[in-house]
Each structure stands twice: as C-alpha cells, then as structure tokens.
Amino acid sequence: MMNKKESPERLETLRSSNNLYPLRDDYRGEVTLKLSNRQKKVYTLLMAGKHTVTEMTIKTGFSDPRGYVRELRNRGINVRDEWIKKDDVRYKRYWIEKTDNVNF
C-alpha cells in the first residue's frame, strides 16, 4: 500500500510567515521596518494626513489600498480610522498619527 503524500505548503501561507518578512531588523543597533514599496507609499500618504479609500486609490494608483492598510496594521503600525456619515452614505477615513511614527 502506498502512503499518501502531503501537499506542499501553500504560497499564501509562506508569504504570511513572520520569519520571511520580519517586522523589525536590529542590524547595527537600528530598529527599522521592512516594508514593500507599495506599503511605504501608503504609509507615507497616511502620515501626511487623513484620506479615504477613494483618495488613496487616486493618489497611489492601487485598486484596493485597504489591503495595504491591513498589512500595515498586521506589522504593528497603528493606522487610525474614523467613520464618516453623509446623508445615507458611510465610509472610513484613515491616517497615522505623527506620534506613532516608525522609521523604515
């Protein structure tokens, strides 16, 4: 009888592993964040002020910047948000406080 082979680990699982993309690197005594170029672009935009998803899409050219906001939060960056309600429409506005600044 043949033993059943296990399937290889999925790519999404490998990418989300903390040891592949460490949050901080203590090289030469400096604490730095390792972010992708797209994450850096969303990070710097949110550091500049409050933006809605539509504004972030227009300024960055990314189709769904909420995914990058989620990735920043998963890496420990405090991305703040607030609900805005106008008439019968509700949406969020995102930003990062200057006091929550992290170098990368």
> In this predicted model, what pLDDT tens digit does every residue of 35-86 receive, in sequence order?
899 999 999 999 999 999 999 999 999 999 999 999 999 998 999 999 999 9
Is position 70 within any domain? yes
Overall domain count for the chain = 1
Residue type (1 letter), 22: P
The CATH number of the domain where 87 resides is what? 1.10.10.10
For the chain, the residue count is 104
Question: What predicted TM-score, i.e. pTM, was given to this entire model?
Answer: 0.65
Structural domain of residue 52, as residue ranges? 37-96
On whether residue 41 sits in a domain, the answer given is yes
Specify if 14 maps to a domain.
no
- Let me know if residue 73 belongs to a domain: yes
Evaluated on CA atoms 68, 72, 73, 77, the torsion sign reads: negative
In a domain, 75, yes or no: yes
> How far apart are the C-alpha atoms of 35 and 43, rounded to whole Å?
9
Report the C-alpha gap between 30 and 102 in whole angstroms.
Answer: 12
